[in-house]
């Protein structure tokens, strides 16, 4: 079997265009990602997922950002609206791990029913007083041990529902005081503080199948953004001990500079396995796929190992889980 393309790509609309079908068949990306523009009805989403898999001729993974709060692509009235993760944690207090498990187990049911078998969560960036607002309410807390515990609950909820989790943003985005969609954040903390706090939840969850990089500079370690830094990528493998498939965060974000093919190649040369390219023209997607080429031997091994973790959902009573979660959110006396 030849190696798959070292990319995760997206589509422009509700169905694939003829040109996209041809391109995807040629590029053979490792996976796909969906956005709000790709979502209309359940039948439409299922048909789009089927088209994506047909284009590459295999059961390719399809991921999405369905965290809750501001970051969720499936929305009411067709799908459930969810509290932001930090709001759920605050509401449920000592029961936060159970609440997050329930929320993400239900989310997994929604995703799996559509043919979506991955979710870009858990997010185990450790929040602080200066964490940028684009990230803050997506975090699970301020203590690395608690964040790791809650991140494990999220991952378990997804896995039990047949959905692969994507651990993000390795090796830790919580100290960023800028939005990496718009600027390159620079973190000045020293290595000792980073190891004790920011990196710790990722080390605790280093057995998860897939992870997504952070587009920010850790000035005490390397002047290059982590996504394109061989030093940081080696730290993720060695210090954090993560041997899962590593995808970049979206390379079209403004934190990274250069042409998209240049960024794609720099990310892979640094040690990422696959490049996530979103919201780009077909011409740009072609250029990125050409620059990325195919997975390396190690990358193909990690990709196959990640997909081997996929399983059929366990059988649960979703209305009962919803009732339990609602009672937990409502507070004492309602459970």
Mean pLDDT (the chain) is: 95
User: What pLDDT was estimated at residue 181?
Assistant: 84
d(CA 45, CA 111): 10
Query: Please, which pLDDT band fits residue 335 given cuts at 50, 70 and 90?
Result: very low
pLDDT in the model for residue 182: 80
| Average confidence (pLDDT) over 100-124 | 98
Task: Say whether 249 is catalytic.
Answer: yes
Annotated catalytic residue within 50, 181, 207, 269: 181
Q: Is residue 181 among the annotated active site residues?
A: yes
Residue 1: the pLDDT is: 65
Note the pLDDT of residue 180.
Answer: 77
Percentage of the chain lying above the pLDDT 70 cut: 99
CA 81 – CA 76 distance, rounded (Å): 6
Q: What is the pTM of this model?
A: 0.96
* pLDDT tops 70 at residue 98: yes
Average pLDDT over every residue of 248-261? 93
Please tell me the predicted confidence (pLDDT) of residue 333.
52
Condensed to tens digits (0 to 9), the pLDDT of residues 198-245 reads 999 999 999 999 999 999 999 999 999 999 999 999 999 999 999 999
CB 96 within 8 Å of CB 104: no
Give the active site residue among 65, 117, 137, 249. 249
The single-letter DSSP state of residue 13 is: S
Contact 211, 167 (CB under 8 A): yes
Q: Average pLDDT in the 85-105 region?
A: 97
Q: Which of 61-65, 128-132, 201-205, 295-299 has the lowest mean pLDDT?
A: 128-132
Q: Which residues pair with 234 in a beta bridge?
A: none
Region 114-134 average pLDDT: 94
Rounded mean pLDDT of 181-187? 87
- Whole-angstrom CA distances from 69 to 38, 74, 168, 307, 335 are 19, 11, 17, 28, 23
What does the pLDDT read at residue 238? 97
Structure token digits, residue 93: 């207090």
């Amino acid at each position: 079997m030849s190696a798959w393309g070292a990319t995760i790509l997206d589509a422009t609309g509700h169905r694939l265009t003829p040109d996209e079908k041809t391109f995807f068949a040629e590029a053979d990306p490792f996976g796909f990602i969906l956005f709000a523009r790709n979502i209309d009805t359940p039948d439409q989403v299922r048909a789009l997922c089927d088209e994506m898999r047909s284009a590459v001729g295999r059961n390719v993974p399809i991921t999405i950002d369905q965290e809750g709060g501001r970051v969720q692509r499936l929305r009411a009235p067709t799908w459930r609206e969810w509290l932001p993760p930090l709001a759920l944690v605050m509401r449920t207090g000592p029961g936060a791990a159970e609440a997050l498990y329930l929320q993400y187990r239900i989310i997994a049911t929604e995703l799996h029913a559509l043919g979506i078998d991955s979710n870009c969560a858990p997010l185990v960036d450790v929040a602080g007083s200066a964490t940028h607002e684009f990230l803050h309410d997506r975090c699970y807390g301020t203590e690395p041990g608690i964040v790791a515990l809650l991140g494990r609950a999220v991952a378990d909820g997804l896995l039990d529902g047949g959905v692969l989790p994507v651990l993000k943003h390795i090796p830790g985005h919580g100290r960023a005081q800028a939005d990496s969609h718009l600027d390159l954040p620079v973190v000045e903390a020293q290595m000792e503080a980073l190891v004790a706090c920011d990196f710790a939840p990722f080390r605790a969850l280093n057995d998860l199948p897939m992870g997504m990089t952070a587009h920010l500079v850790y000035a005490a370690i390397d002047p290059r953004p982590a996504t394109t830094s061989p030093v940081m990528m080696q730290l993720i493998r060695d210090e954090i001990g993560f041997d899962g498939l590593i995808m970049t965060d979206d390379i079209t974000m403004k934190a990274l500079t250069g042409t998209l093919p240049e960024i794609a190649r720099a990310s892979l040369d640094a040690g990422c396995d696959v490049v996530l390219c979103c919201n780009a023209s077909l011409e740009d997607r072609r250029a990125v796929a050409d620059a990325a080429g195919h997975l390396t031997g190690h990358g193909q091994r990690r990709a196959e190992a990640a997909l081997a973790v996929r399983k059929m959902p366990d059988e649960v009573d979703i209305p009962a889980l919803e009732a339990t979660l609602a009672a937990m959110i409502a507070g004492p006396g309602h459970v």
